[in-house]
Amino acid sequence: MDARLRRLQKEVADLRKDTTSQVTIELVDESYLHLLGSFPGPPDTPYAGGTYEVDIVIPPSYPFSPPKMKFLTRLYHPNVSSASGAICLDILKDAWSPVLTLKSTMISLQSLLCSPEPSDPQDAEVAKHYMASREGFEETARYWAEIYAGAPAKKSKTGKEKAAPPVVDEIAASGLNAAH
């Protein structure tokens, strides 16, 4: 068994034992080279309450090059392509180090949801919305969390839970206001 596979087996086993991070990784088709990761949306963000899945493909040169990751769960974020799930994060490119693990990388993705970097976007339109109207951006991100990540409906100002919309409002999902 090669060193890459031994390392991957250890990383996955360590994550399965970990009960504090809430990050999970499962094998796809019983292969350590294709994985499915997930984590909860961070509290006090528009993503809170949702569950975010990430497709992970391990390259032959791992751990000397980063895993290839993309979000399978759609989310509205400047550093994630709303169309493909591609992620703009330095550790998935030139800042990767063999010291990093799948767990630390997944936690970095979770942290990215707490602090978007609109100056280095993957999705320029979402970044523009973030810069122009933080409140509008957060409303749209929360809406996407509800319809795509299973986040509970936000409470209304009266304290009652709003009913989740039965169908996707394409205007709101695009970050637009119907009046405009």
CA angle centred on 86, ends 84 and 91, rounded to 5°: 175
First vs last Cα of the chain: how many Å apart?
A: 60
- Interacting residues of 109 by C-beta distance below 8 A, sequence separation 6+: 39, 52, 54, 69, 87, 89
From 69, 63, 74, 84, select the one nearest 23 (Cα to Cα).
69
Active-site residue set: 88
Residue 8 is classified by DSSP as: H
User: What is the strand order of the sheet 24-28 is part of?
Assistant: 24-28, 31-40, 51-57, 68-71
DSSP E strands in the chain: the ranges are 24-28, 31-40, 51-57, 68-71
Measured between alpha carbons, how far is 106 from 42 in angstroms, rounded to an integer? 12
